[in-house]
Structure 1
Amino acid sequence: MAKIYPLLGVSQPFDPTFRFTTSWLLPPYLLASLRLFFALYAFITIFAIFAWDDSHHLTLTARRSFSYFTNLTYWGLAFYFLFSALHTYSYARTGKAWLRSWPRPLQAAHAVLYTTIVTYPLLVTLVFWAILYRNPWFPLVEEGWSNISEHALNSLFALFEITIPRTNPLPPLHMVCLVILLACYLALAYITHATQGFYPYSFLDTSKGNGRVTGYCFGILIAICVIFGIVWGVIWLRNLATRTLGLEGKFAGQLREEDGRDVREGGIEVVELQEESK
């Protein structure tokens, strides 16, 4: 089992140059604050939608919310930004991220969660506006705001994590994780139909033709593979550009116990080269 951790992006020690908790542009406290703001916005959106549904006697809609991939990925965004903010604050305060002390399975889970929040929101946005949305615009302000939050701002949050932190390109094995999670959601969608009598998304309705459903499923599979490749490339280019321009990152300035160097004084490249050679 230990051999799979490096393939999942979990080095030993984990994240030796603090790529998950630092930015090439923003100081740690500001990065943490923005992540916390995004988390609060996402949670407020989720609970505001629940409150609106309840006040308009739409309790069935609220109960069905976890059957929708959009909502599940939005919860993922909210929790990612909450925990990434806590990890970044702990790094900014002590020079050592809270995440560094976690068990390796949880570190792997955090790495995979990062991959989901920089890919799935882009998929959700693409599918919603290309397939599901139909004119005219939503008649109620709440509906328009909630759909913009969950089907547009979600991708803005993802783009922030793609471009601003110092994270490494996504490990290739994470592509397998994304496909497995999509397969699990597909199973959930059909369990929902079997137990509650509705399809979360109309394009999964087998009564309209199995071939049509299969085509949509393979289309989404291809889309997530393309999105994964594009995101990988953008992160790789971001790291190349910042390294070329000498923008190594904004660090907490704390002495690293692991190697006895201040990461601001040139030790960062040595650590990364040593890590790559393992």
Structure 2
Amino acid sequence: MGAGHAHALYVHEHSPVHALPPHVKVVAAFGTVVTIAVTPAPAWPVFAVAAVVLGGVAVLARVPLRFVATRLLVVVPFLLVAVMVPFVASGSRVTVLGLEVSRAGIVAGFGIASRAVLGATASILLAATTEVPRLLRALERLRVPPVLTQIATFMVRYLEVVAGELGRMRTAMVARGHDPRWLWQARPVAAASGALFVRSYERGERVYAAMLARGYAGTMPDLHDEEPVAAVTWSVALALPAVVACTLLLWWLRP
């Protein structure tokens, strides 16, 4: 799986963020997400600082705002939950736009929405600046169990193959006059899905047998000699989650 397999979340640029070693970016993004996740809902300054930090990374990486906003649609269910919390939470009530809502529910909903949006943004920026092969290699350098990285590698690669197979099957169905649009037309789609599952399973067995015949022993060969990362690179990358963490610490220690 080479660089030609660019995924939909990747933005091809030549920015300083793109140039950072992948495993350094993974650690920085993970630290940022963890810090955001443990931030209490009332600590709005921490969320504000995290938003500024992530916005700065997006600008530095030249990732368009529209690109990030489109992919943030995945957190819409969490935002709907956050909107509902003030109406169902208990506690003192306040009137907002003519509606009585819980004061504690507003704070809790704000926390849910902030964590969802900021955490997803950090993940989107990581994916937007790191190609899939390099991202998986970074996980290996961080000592993630090889079985997990191998599963992820083949999943990413063969999702494209299975999606292409599904597209060809749908084209064949339409060419034969069947274009299902209603629930009662789902039977042929179910049959096609079953056939696709069987073909995918058989393909996986053939690929695995071919790999064993070529000496596969549970890990892929390392074709790239990676140099150690300079301390200054780690310092620059980890400064971003450190700023958010220090803000959280100051909030906890406030008088």
Report the TM-score, using the length of structure 1 for normalisation: 0.28
For the pair shown, the structure with the greater C-alpha radius of gyration is: 2
Report the TM-score, using the length of structure 2 for normalisation: 0.30
